[in-house]
Amino acid sequence: MHNHISLNQFISQENTKHSSIDYDLAGLLNQVAISCKRISNLVNRSGLMHILGAAGTENVQGEGQKKLDIISNNVMVKDLEWTGYLSGMVSEEVEEIISIPNQYSKGKYLLLFDPLDGSSNIDINVSVGTIFSVLHTPNGVTHPKDEHFLQPGTQQVCAGFCVYGPTTMLVLTIGHGVNGFTLDRDIGDFILTHPNMTVPEDTSEFAINMSNQRFWEAPVQRYIQECLQGKEGPRSKNFNMRWVASMVAEVYRILTRGGIFMYPRDQKDPSKPGRLRLMYEANPMSFIIEQAGGLSSTGYEPILAVKPTHIHQRVPVIIGSKNEVSQVISYHKGN
């Protein structure tokens, strides 16, 4: 396990090599890791603790919340609001900015997170996870407003996600590649187990919700039809389809063996240009994938180049192995 390098040791070594991690960022990342450990334990024991099932409430997107959505969000907020590293937070589960209480010091970073991605799977024991992104607070700002969070993905300081599956994995980029850490429950620490994760440029796996096929735009219809035609079609190779309905699980699979994950623009609900949230799903995952040698796009432009207009903005997502994503982009250009 690479000499049992812990997350804290790794962050210290990265700072020595790149001088890109100051004391506050190191502290913030370690505190986020603690929150992920707490959520992992809650997910692991959710049946015993009777916290499965619907909460009977909706989030800002009008989606039904699970009990664990609300609990995980509260864990993140309570674990991080007092640290002095943050000036504000944004969560998928909360409509407004989460302000830092006046009794706590304000820091230089902004945190954006999806506390429990894929929570629709929680009751059937399928992998779920936490996604997070860190931005700099603009100079002179101590009480950030919406506009201070609306930075393009290229401005991210770091991004990561935790996947709560057979093992709990933390995947992290600080802008110098991607590394994976496994939670060693015996010692309660994340240990480096997957250094320098790289997305293969080619793949024969795609992940998409086929039930929405009739609503897709022509470029995506064309790409999927060519995949389904296999060796006899214009791509001259067979493809496998995967669909977990949990972005953390889909992206982790791509990081380990390649693939393409798509939640494209469709006409199912014309008022929504995409399904996934830019600020705390698409941007952090795109940063991670591109740092690992993959590619991300809305189909029309790089996700990391999108100028945000709203903290809960939705965008189409096409992400994964470089050559397959490039193929889908070329069909959009041709269209």
* Residue 271 labeled ligand binder: no
* Residue 24 labeled ligand binder: no
What are the residues facing 295 on neighbouring strands?
320
Q: CA 203 → CA 67, 252, 259, 303, 327, distances in Å?
A: 37, 14, 5, 21, 12
C-alpha 45/C-alpha 42 separation (Å) is 5
* Residue 172 labeled ligand binder: no
Any idea what DSSP says for residue 207?
Answer: E
* Residue 117 labeled ligand binder: yes
* Residue 211 labeled ligand binder: no
* Residue 301 labeled ligand binder: no
* Residue 83 contacts residue 27 (beta carbons within 8 Å): yes
Residues whose CB falls within 8 Å of the CB of residue 24, separated by 6 or more in sequence, listed in order: 84, 85, 107, 108, 109
* Residue 328 contacts residue 261 (beta carbons within 8 Å): no
* Residue 118 labeled ligand binder: yes
Q: Token match 């850490």: residue?
A: 181
* Residue 228 labeled ligand binder: no
Ramachandran bin of 148, using left for φ above 0, alpha for ψ from -120 to 50, beta for the remaining angles? alpha
Measured torsion, CA atoms of residues 46, 94, 316, 146, in degrees rounded to the nearest 10: -150
* Residue 281 labeled ligand binder: yes
* Residue 190 contacts residue 7 (beta carbons within 8 Å): yes
Burial of 60 (0-12, 13-18, 19+ CB in 10 A): middle
Name the binding residues for substrate.
117-120, 209
Detail the residues annotated as belonging to a binding site for Mg(2+).
Answer: 92, 114, 116-117, 281
Q: Output the known binding site.
A: 92, 114, 116-120, 209, 281
